[in-house]
């Protein structure tokens, strides 16, 4: 059945947090030309509907200016949303459409609701090993979690557990350097091994504080903040900003990430 888009609400238990804007725009164009091929799944909730599966299609349909969307209406889930979360999680896993941190947070919530990882594994249809591996990702600092969620670090068990044994400062260092340089698993393991040799007493995690005067562009931290950019000619500054914007890590740019980038060192030598 067709449902007015304005009556549909996003899933409050949506486990997925990453919605690529370019992909949404492409999907929106496809919907304009072909419509929504696969109906979304919703639950009735008072005078509205809650999305269970198909939030990307719903968002893209809004972008396409659609007034209605084809949907399948299923019975309302239990009061705490466990069934809705489970359904959304399974749908995303089957399409490999979620970031690993999003999966981990969903698994964590389900373990709390269902009691054990084994119960979650049976409910969702994945191995307990996969659940425990994903849950381990939540033990990393936020900077490292974001890199895993963006797909900038490989989801290899040996790397995840080796990285876990470094202190937090080393974890951030290894992860940001590997993400910026696109290192393979073998190279990452070599760096982890080198860092492990220098591991002393574990250090408490202290969030990295940015300098009071940061150079930003369109609200983003910029690598120019790490150098005395006032001495650079305007055309070089402009080129540096464009280079930063083209970086795949630009949306998550921070001092911890940018200090591993070769651009500041290159600009200092000019």
Please list the active-site residues. 55
Cβ atoms of 209 and 250 closer than 8 Å: no
Exposure string of 173-194, with b = 16+ CB inside 10 Å and e = fewer, is bbbbbbbbeebeeeebbebbee
Encoded tokens for 15: 């486990």
Nearest to 179 by CA among 207, 155, 154: 154
Can you spell out the DSSP letters for 145-185? HHHHHTT-S---HHHHHHHHTS-HHHHHHHHHHHHHHT--H
Pairing relationship of beta strands 216-217 and 220-221 according to DSSP bridges: antiparallel
The sign of the torsion formed by the CA atoms of 17, 23, 25, 30 equals negative
Q: Using an 8 Å Cβ cutoff, are 138 and 146 in contact?
A: no
Q: Give the span between the Cα atoms of 259 and 24, in whole angstroms.
A: 32
Helix, strand, coil percent content, the chain, rounded in steps of 5? 55, 10, 35
**Is-contact 198 238, C-beta < 8 A?**
no
């Amino acid at each position: 059945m067709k449902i007015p888009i304005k009556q549909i609400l996003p899933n409050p238990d949506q486990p997925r947090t990453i919605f690529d804007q370019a992909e949404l725009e492409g999907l929106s164009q496809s919907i304009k030309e072909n419509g929504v091929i696969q109906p979304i799944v919703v639950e009735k909730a008072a005078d509205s509907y809650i999305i269970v599966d198909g939030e990307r299609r719903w968002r893209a349909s809004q972008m396409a200016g659609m007034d209605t969307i084809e949907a399948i209406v299923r019975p309302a889930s239990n009061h705490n949303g466990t069934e809705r979360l489970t359904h959304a999680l399974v749908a995303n896993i089957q399409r490999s459409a979620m970031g690993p941190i999003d999966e981990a947070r969903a698994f964590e919530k389900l373990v709390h609701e269902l009691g054990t990882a084994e119960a979650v594994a049976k409910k969702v249809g994945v191995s307990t090993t996969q659940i425990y591996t994903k849950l381990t990702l939540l033990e990393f600092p936020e900077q490292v979690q974001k890199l895993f969620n963006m797909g900038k670090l490989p989801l290899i068990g040996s790397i995840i557990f080796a990285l876990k044994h470094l202190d937090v400062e080393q974890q951030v260092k290894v992860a940001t350097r590997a993400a910026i340089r696109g290192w393979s698993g073998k190279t990452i393991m070599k760096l982890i091994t080198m860092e492990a040799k220098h591991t002393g007493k574990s250090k408490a995690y202290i969030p990295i504080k940015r300098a009071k005067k940061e150079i930003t562009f369109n609200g983003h931290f910029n690598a120019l903040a790490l150098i005395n950019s006032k001495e650079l000619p305007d055309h070089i500054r402009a080129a540096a900003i464009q280079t930063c914007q083209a970086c795949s890590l630009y949306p998550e740019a921070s001092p911890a990430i940018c200090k591993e980038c070769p651009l500041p060192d290159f600009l200092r030598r000019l």
